[in-house]
A and B are shown apart, each in its own frame.
Chain A
């Protein structure tokens, strides 16, 4: 049972344009959501997070939006840069624990 789903395994975007990565979840107990970025042969690195009490969080070029009623979150990258090419994982916590549930990942390719 995949509780966190990323239905697009890959996404290709031109440099300078917006990248939108999507994530859906089924567990209504999730109360904290994160995005991780992963380059080949490296471990994932934390990118941005959002609490379930908010609907938007920004950090520079990265913005995460949360729609609780739809159980959907998205990561917007504006403007996209070639260095953003990586696999992006959506992940979620339930309150009181550090156990992360990950999505399957989306491979983003930013082309020149």
Chain B
């Protein structure tokens, strides 16, 4: 199993550009989520999904869109990039609470810089 994969590893955008961060998992996990990590802030939840076709907002959703058309994929879209979105983005997946919920697997991250 590849686990959780994320592409690209690095990206530089100009203000106002849009892009999609890709996330895929091959563990048949129902739950997937996106976090951003900023210095001194820990990881903060952006959006999450409890299954295909179901998404919801996390703590810091503004400026981001998600969709979940398949169990495997959970892309994160930046609609109009802003310098405040410069961060490291992590995708994670797990089974639902009550079924080994503590084993939330994280991808290697995407480092995004917005100029």
Nearest chain A CB to B50's CB is how many angstroms away?
8
Q: Name the segment of B60-68, B73-81, B105-113 touching the other chain.
A: B105-113
B90 x A102 contact (CB < 8 A): no
With A46-B102, A46-B103 in contact, do A98 and B42 touch (Cβ < 8 Å)? no
B106 x A45 contact (CB < 8 A): yes
Instruction: Assign chain A's interface to a size class.
Output: 20 to 34
Q: Does A30 contact B (CB under 8 A)?
A: no
Binding site for B on A (CB under 8 A): 4, 6, 9, 32, 34, 36, 41-46, 49, 89, 91, 93, 95-105
Instruction: Assign chain B's interface to a size class.
Output: 20 to 34
Nearest chain A CB to B87's CB is how many angstroms away?
14
Interface of A is mostly: loop
How many Å lie between the Cα of A97 and that of B48 in the bound state?
Answer: 11
Contact of B43 (CB < 8 Å), options: A32, A44, A45 = A44
* Residue in A43, A98, A104 whose Cβ sees the most chain B Cβ within 10 Å: A98
Contact of B4 (CB < 8 Å), options: A43, A98, A100 = A43
Which residues of B have CB within 8 Å of A34?
102
A89 x B102 contact (CB < 8 A): no
Q: Does B71 contact A (CB under 8 A)?
A: no
B43 x A97 contact (CB < 8 A): no
Which residues of A have CB within 8 Å of B109?
41-43
